[in-house]
Amino acid sequence: MADDLSLDKGGAPHQTAKGDADGMTTAQGAPVANDQSWLRAGARGPALLEDHIAREKIFHFDHERIPERVVHARGYGAHGTFELAEDLSEHTRARVLTEVGKKVPVFVRFSTVAGNQGSPDLARDVRGFAVKFYTDEGNWDIVGNNIPVFFIQDAMKFPDLIHAAKPAPDRGFPQAQTAHDNFWDFVTLSPESMNMIMWIMSDRTIPRSFRFMEGFGVHTFRLVNAEGKSSFVKFHWKPKQGLQSVVWNEALKVNGADPDFHRRDLWAAIDAGDYPQWDLGVQIFDEAFAENFEFDVLDATKIIPEEQIPVRIVGTMTLDENVDNFFAETEQVAFCTQNIVPGIDQSNDPLLQGRNFSYLDTQLKRLGGPNFTHIPVNAPKCPVRHFQQDGHMAMHNPKGRVNYEPNSWGEGTGEEAGPRENPERGFDSYPEQVEGPKLRARPESFADHYSQARQFYISQTPTEQAHMGSALTFELSKVGRPEIRARMVGHLRNIDDGLAQTVADGLGMAELPGKLKAAKEPIADLPESPALSIIRNGPGNFKGRKLGIYIAEGGDAPTVAALQKAAKDAGAMCEIIAPHVSGAKLSDGKMVEADEKIDGAPSVVYDAVAIVMGEESGRERARDKPSQDFVSDAFAHAKFIAYTDAAMPIFAAIGLDERLDDGCMKLSGAGDASGFIETCGKLRFWEREAVKQD
């Protein structure tokens, strides 16, 4: 390498140029000594606004895209309400967390991170999960993701991360993918990314639906009560629908069949009155816990396992209204991590501190000026009074003569004095003691990059671990430079040697690369955390899922009707698929209209499938490729399949007639329908994958 790579005490990489000609500079030409960390007051102190190098870098990054968001460009939103169930006044004076039973309006935007507006919904990617609460004390935004950790520890590196993940600037591809040299080059040179790598290589990044994924505030925040006492808090969203993801081959085919799969799913559920819900949970802890925790609570690449601090459910969010206009609401909504209300405060998390600067700057560029809060979706639903005026697209300005304070207008002058500060109700920052030298560095408490990555991996079921190994192998197989592949496997050896060997074998490496030197020796005996597994946290029922019933001429009418009823009784959606969109005539001689034609409704868009047809139709459909794919994909993706005898020729045509397992259920009549739907509550017959791997 032309440069020397080293790590500081906090494990941050430094790639030092040899010679003045290679030196990095600012846009003004000034040499840069440290491009890794924001200037702060003490290693664990707050970020300083005077850092012109970091501010210039973030400023330029914020203005790279016109008009779509630089990240989270592809999003989908909905309106709803949040209702508090437990009073947290012991910890906070925020009304939204202390007034039990009050319903607060919310707007939620789900999104992918790396792709542009036209990218597919089921790319392997982190999902944004941003919630705007319209409280009586102003807007409060939890700008989170469906993963509780992040790639980087310091906002200074955010432009580099996204540049590495986005299409390469010379060729403009790949789109909405991380399976390329630039991304893996960056993360393998940034050991702090290793915990996040385990998460994104898991099925968490290919969710079945927005409705079936968790949300996290990612950062540690503060709660401050009426007496000024502070606690730390992490925010969680737990889906009442349970967790569920797809498998990779399925994701690829869903993107081809319906690139709007997640959008359509959320719209359809709300439109049908099947309103998705999430419980808001909090992990609240004090300074003593923070000081004794194995990791630094200000490090955004770490979680606090639920087994150490249980998630306390305090309220429920319900999404019950689709938007009236996608652009006006979903596209123009502006989230800012700085949007907090009295009783909620920031922490010195260096990634959060940088986000607080970046988001406001982003909205200025993307929405055209400082008055983006005048757009209805961004406007608070409480009284707004201040002296801010004018600017691009101002919809309203302060009335009267006075536009400044302090002022002496008011009583006896005939003029309105305008708003005044309110020390009792107003926002007041927690008076945390801050001291230390101004420096660019990561604290040593940020230096462990592998322990929680290992904890996440060992907390997965064998099925999920196999998926992670396959994902890593696939992604790295798209990397052209062998040294990058070897470097990643060297990182994996600090996480799990078995996983490293699986990936090395999958890549055809002649020998296992050496273990990379860790900035801090990993903790090898962290216990499993079952809360980190998707499969272990499924719903246990079929509610909110979708059954696809493939019918053809002569199919048993009572069986079709029973399947529809059983699905409805379970709270599931149901669609009829047929060889023709006009439908099919069943055994009772009646025509049943189809929702979809077979070649436009592959099994990948359903959670379980049933095939009901007459004998002649079964023989005819066995020669039909879309019918064969419908069954073979459902089987390959470990889905539950119900079938009548007449459908067996299709199974025989694809060689499955001798491989039917307990996930394939024969329908002898209408009486078998309810039992099939009950079994579908397991969502997948994962035992089938284990058989395939043997």
Q: 453-535 adopts what CATH topology?
A: Hemocyanin, N-terminal domain (1.20.1370)
**Which range has the worst mean pLDDT, 246-250, 418-422, 590-594?**
418-422
Look at residue 64 and tell me whether its pLDDT is greater than 90: no
Given a cut of 90, whether residue 397 has pLDDT beyond it is no
Dihedral sign of CA atoms 556, 558, 559, 561 in order: positive
Task: Report residue 359 CA to chain centroid gap.
Answer: 18
Q: What is the predicted pLDDT for the residue at 66? A: 62
User: In which band, very low, low, confident or very high, does the pLDDT at 302 lie, cut at 50, 70 and 90?
Assistant: very high
- Reported as type and span, the H/E element at residue 575 is strand 573-578
The pLDDT value recorded for residue 14 is 75
CATH superfamily assigned to domain 542-693: Class I glutamine amidotransferase (GATase) domain (3.40.50.880)
In the annotation, is 63 catalytic? no
* pLDDT tier, 31 (very low <50, low <70, confident <90, very high otherwise): confident
> Which has the closest alpha carbon to 147: 213, 57, 62, 208?
213
Q: Provide the 3-class DSSP secondary structure of residue 63.
A: coil
Residue 693 has pLDDT above 70, yes or no: no
What is the C-alpha to C-alpha distance for residues 334 and 392, in angstroms, rounded to an integer? 16
pLDDT tens, position by position, 674-683: 999 999 999 9
**Active site (annotated) includes residue 72:** yes
pLDDT of residue 2: 44
Q: Average pLDDT, stretch 471-496?
A: 98
In terms of C-beta density within 10 A (0-12 exposed, 13-18 middle, 19 or more buried), how is residue 361 classed? middle
Take residue 545 and report the two structure tokens written for it. 């899922």
Decide if 506 contacts 473 (C-beta within 8 A): yes
For residues 301 and 150, the answer to whether their CB atoms sit within 8 Å is yes
Helices and strands (H, E) in the chain, number of each type: 18, 22
Among 646, 642, 634, 631, smallest CA distance to 679 is for 642
Q: How many angstroms separate the CA atoms of 454 and 335, rounded?
A: 33
What is the distance between the alpha carbons of residues 608 and 517, in angstroms, rounded to a whole number?
Answer: 47
pTM of the model: 0.93
R_g of the chain, CA atoms, integer Å: 27
The C-alpha atoms of residue 655 and residue 652 are separated, in whole angstroms, by 5
CB 640 within 8 A of CB 681: no
Return the bridge partners of 27, or none. Answer: none
Under a CB-based contact definition with an 8 Å cutoff, are residues 52 and 34 in contact? no
Query: Quick one: which of 186, 210, 201, 169 has its CA closest to 76?
Result: 210
- Convert the pLDDT of each residue in 349-391 to its tens digit: 999 999 999 998 889 889 988 899 999 999 999 999 898 899 8
The one-letter code for the residue type at 135 is T
* Distance (Å, whole) CA 474 – CA 229: 50
Query: Is residue 511 predicted with pLDDT exceeding 50?
Result: yes
Which of the following is catalytic: 145, 371, 378, 494? 145
In the chain, domain spans:
59-374, 453-535, 542-693
Give me the pLDDT at residue 19, please.
57
Interstrand relation of 127-135 and 312-322 (parallel, antiparallel or unpaired)? unpaired
User: To 10 degrees, what angle do helices 497-506 and 482-492 make?
Assistant: 160
Percent of the chain whose predicted confidence (pLDDT) is above 90? 84
pLDDT band at 408 (very low <50, low <70, confident <90, very high): very high
Which of the four CATH numbers 3.20.20.70, 3.30.930.10, 2.40.180.10, 3.50.50.60 does domain 59-374 have? 2.40.180.10
Q: Are 421 and 494 in contact (CB under 8 A)?
A: no
Q: Which residues pair with 618 in a beta bridge?
A: none
Residue 109 main-chain phi, psi, to 5 deg:
-125, 120
Give per-residue pLDDT as tens, 71-81: 999 999 999 99
> What letter represents residue 430's amino acid?
Y
Q: Is 148 exposed, middle or buried (0-12, 13-18, 19+ CB in 10 A)?
A: buried
Distances (CA, A) of 4 to 296, 484, 517: 28, 16, 15
The span from the CA of 69 to the CA of 75, in Å, is 10
Q: What is the mean pLDDT of the chain?
A: 94
Burial of 599 (0-12, 13-18, 19+ CB in 10 A): middle
Task: Evaluate if residue 177 carries a pLDDT over 60.
Answer: yes
Average pLDDT over residues 212-230: 98
pLDDT for residue 1 is more than 50: no
Which of 5-14, 90-99, 337-346, 640-649 has the weakest average pLDDT?
5-14
Residue 601 has what pLDDT?
97
3-state per-residue secondary structure call for 75-110: EEEEEEEEEECCCCCCCCCCHHHCCCCCEEEEEEEE
- What local confidence, expressed as pLDDT, does residue 21 receive? 60
| Residue 72 token pair | 């989270």
Q: What is the pLDDT of residues 308-360, one digit of tens each?
A: 999 999 999 999 999 999 999 999 999 999 999 999 999 999 999 999 999 98
Question: What's the rounded Cα separation, in Å, for the pair 200 and 179?
Answer: 12
Q: How far is CA 366 from the centre of its chain?
A: 22
> d(Cα 81, Cα 104) in Å, to the nearest integer?
5
Of the candidates 400, 396, 336, 406, the one whose C-alpha atom is nearest the C-alpha of residue 366 is 336
Q: What is the pLDDT of residue 637?
A: 98
In this structure, are residues 542 and 676 in contact, taking their beta carbons and an 8 Å threshold? no
Q: Omega of the bond prior to 406 within 30 degrees of 0, cis?
A: yes
Q: What pLDDT does 170 receive?
A: 96
